[in-house]
Structure 1
Amino acid sequence: MFVIVGYIFMCVCILGAYAWHGGHLGVLWQPSEIVIIFGGALGGMIAGYGGKPLKATLKAFPSIFKGSPYGKAFYMDLFACLYELLSKVRKEGLMSIEGDVEDPHSSPIFGKYPKISHDHHVVEFITDYLRLMVGGNLNAFEIENLMDVELETHHHEAEVPATAITKLADGLPAFGIVAAVMGVVHTMGSLHLPPSELGKLIGAALVGTFMGIWLAYGFVGPLGTVLENKAKESTQVFQTIKVTLLASLNGYAPQVAVEFGRKALDSTERPSFQELEEFVKNAKGK
């Protein structure tokens, strides 16, 4: 949503100001230069990020135009789900959640929170470490180290699309210069034309530099930033789960463990203590 709004605002300001001062917008339409700029930059990106990184980038691209699923409502459900699981452990022992861990899709606890149960990666992260806790072969320090390794791997993998798009944006101005130079070369071979025609050719050549910079910083660069922010948001979900489970593993009561997790959130998603406590109690009573 905001990507589209930003694009519209930018185009109105840049093109509107250009037209206001008597510029002809038609001059800016140079399809061959756009092909040179985008084709060159995309070719470089494919060469550098072919295979799995390219597939990950294409898969992540549609998410740019969608809102974040990790809002306040998601975290409220996450904390309520974790609270129920940890409360069950505290009352009935670790073996009581074996069924929830082995088959989360049939678990009545996970089933109460569709925002959580429909996120395969979140469910897998929770159940994997609850399974290790049930096994009892690892202490809190060892589990924390393992979580850190997985979080680092996840964040690195999640940042691949953002890095690829950012590299694409970095290449566009350079290929804009390539398009401009090629336009100048074409102009130098047309010196027999009258000045009015030469002026058009020179103007078209200069558009290449403009288009490369505009496409890089106005269109493609912001997409890399959006993907980078989405990667950080997904990592924060796992960081929150990590803090909550480790607090429980270190002996804290479920309500305190959930409070540890709440403190790991940014202020924009973090519910108040009273708000979360009331929500968790109401959710557990359903």
Structure 2
Amino acid sequence: MTTVAGFLFLLVMVFGGYTIAGGKFAIIIGSLPFEMMMIGGAAVGAFLMSNSMAGVKHTLHAFGIILKGARYKKEDYTAMLSLLYFFVRLAQTKGAMALEPHIEKPEESSAFQKFPSILKDHHAATLICDYLRMVGMNADDPHQIEDIMARELKKMKEEELHPSHAMQNIADALPALGIVAAVLGVIKTMGSIDQPPAVLGKMIGGALVGTFLGVLLAYGLMGPMAARLKGIVEEEAAFYDVIRAVIVAHLHGNAPQVSVEAGRKAVPTALMPSFQELEAALQDLQVA
């Protein structure tokens, strides 16, 4: 929502200032369709050339993510920490093999069903099951597990950042594409050099609309959207890092409460549940 509000505010300020300064919209409106066709079409073509079809689909999907914002809230972190607390407590009291019914068929697990938002999160549920399964396979070296998880989380983050990089590449190209459109407008103007100054002025003004659009779209739209998407990806990556923190702390032999506290400290500050809030959630945790 803030992305849309920010862009609308940007348009009001830019065109409002132009209007107050005595600018006329006739030239901009008259040139806009053609300039947008050249600049936008060139940008789309460059985007398609520089990305695979999977990358194109991923980027198109990312526009919805930008509008919605980060999906994880404080209650999601509380749910994740509560679920992990149940698992590490179960592993400590009954052994790693007691985890098997929950991690082999998470959709049938009473623990996962207690937290449907986690169960629906494919990445989170898979991470939990995969690494708890490794614990059950006696892969109990905390340093080895931490290294494997860190590399997988880095890979996931880099894959999710691809749309942001693609958008930033288009943002970097748009000013130059605007110049291309402007040069074509100048070429068109030079072909009508015998026309009166009033006509040539409108034609030159129309050509400059291309430069204006390229710069505006680059620094006023695509660049901020790429930055916003990068911020969302990095914020959501912290959610998965909580899983790593709790499991590694558990493998180091810490008590379940201490392991979960290590995970709580990995939560972004704005979304971190307080010690008392998490303790209340753990006290209410009842899973068959």
Identify the TM-score tier after normalising by the shorter chain.
over 0.9
SS in 1 for 2:161: helix
Quote the offset at 1:61 in angstroms: 2.2
Quote the offset at 1:285 in angstroms: 7.3
Asked if structure 1 preserves the Cα contact closer than 8 Å seen for 2:76 and 2:117, the reply is yes
Asked if structure 1 preserves the Cα contact closer than 8 Å seen for 2:171 and 2:218, the reply is yes
TM-score if structure 1 supplies the norm length?
Answer: 0.96
Distance, in Å, in 1 between the alignment partners of 2:55 and 2:120 is 25
Amino acid at match of 2:167: I
Moved more, 252-261 or 18-27: 18-27
Amino acid at match of 1:13: M
Quote the offset at 1:222 in angstroms: 1.2
Residues 209-228 of structure 1 mapped to structure 2, 5 A cutoff: 209-228=211-230
CA displacement, residues 20-56 of structure 1 (integer Å, 9 cap, x when unaligned): 1211123223211111111112211211112322222
Question: Partner of 2:13 in structure 1?
Answer: 13
Quote the offset at 1:138 in angstroms: 4.7
CA displacement, residues 46-101 of structure 1 (integer Å, 9 cap, x when unaligned): 11112322222122221111132111111011001111111111221111110100
SS in 1 for 2:236: helix
Distance, in Å, in 2 between the alignment partners of 1:121 and 1:99 is 19
Quote the offset at 1:237 in angstroms: 1.3
CA displacement, residues 223-267 of structure 1 (integer Å, 9 cap, x when unaligned): 111211121122211111101110011111111101101111221
Asked if structure 1 preserves the Cα contact closer than 8 Å seen for 2:114 and 2:287, the reply is no
Distance, in Å, in 2 between the alignment partners of 1:266 and 1:34 is 41
Distance, in Å, in 2 between the alignment partners of 1:121 and 1:266 is 19
Asked if structure 1 preserves the Cα contact closer than 8 Å seen for 2:140 and 2:251, the reply is no
Asked if structure 2 preserves the Cα contact closer than 8 Å seen for 1:84 and 1:284, the reply is no
Question: Partner of 1:62 in structure 2?
Answer: 64
Residues 103-252 of structure 1 mapped to structure 2, 5 A cutoff: 103-252=105-254
Counting aligned pairs with the same residue, the percent is 40
Residues 260-279 of structure 1 mapped to structure 2, 5 A cutoff: 260-279=262-281
Asked if structure 2 preserves the Cα contact closer than 8 Å seen for 1:15 and 1:25, the reply is no
Amino acid at match of 2:21: H
Amino acid at match of 1:261: G
Amino acid at match of 2:57: K
Distance, in Å, in 2 between the alignment partners of 1:89 and 1:82 is 10
Asked if structure 1 preserves the Cα contact closer than 8 Å seen for 2:111 and 2:287, the reply is no
Amino acid at match of 2:247: L
SS in 1 for 2:49: helix
CA displacement, residues 261-285 of structure 1 (integer Å, 9 cap, x when unaligned): 1111221011111111112212337
Distance, in Å, in 2 between the alignment partners of 1:15 and 1:25 is 9
**Runs of 5+ unmatched residues, structure 1:** none
**Runs of 5+ unmatched residues, structure 2:** none
Distance, in Å, in 2 between the alignment partners of 1:50 and 1:42 is 13
Distance, in Å, in 1 between the alignment partners of 2:123 and 2:52 is 25
Question: Partner of 1:100 in structure 2?
Answer: 102
Distance, in Å, in 1 between the alignment partners of 2:36 and 2:55 is 25
Amino acid at match of 2:142: A
Distance, in Å, in 2 between the alignment partners of 1:7 and 1:51 is 28
SS in 2 for 1:68: coil
Q: C-alpha root-mean-square deviation of aligned residues, in Å?
A: 1.4
CA displacement, residues 181-210 of structure 1 (integer Å, 9 cap, x when unaligned): 110000000112111111100000011111
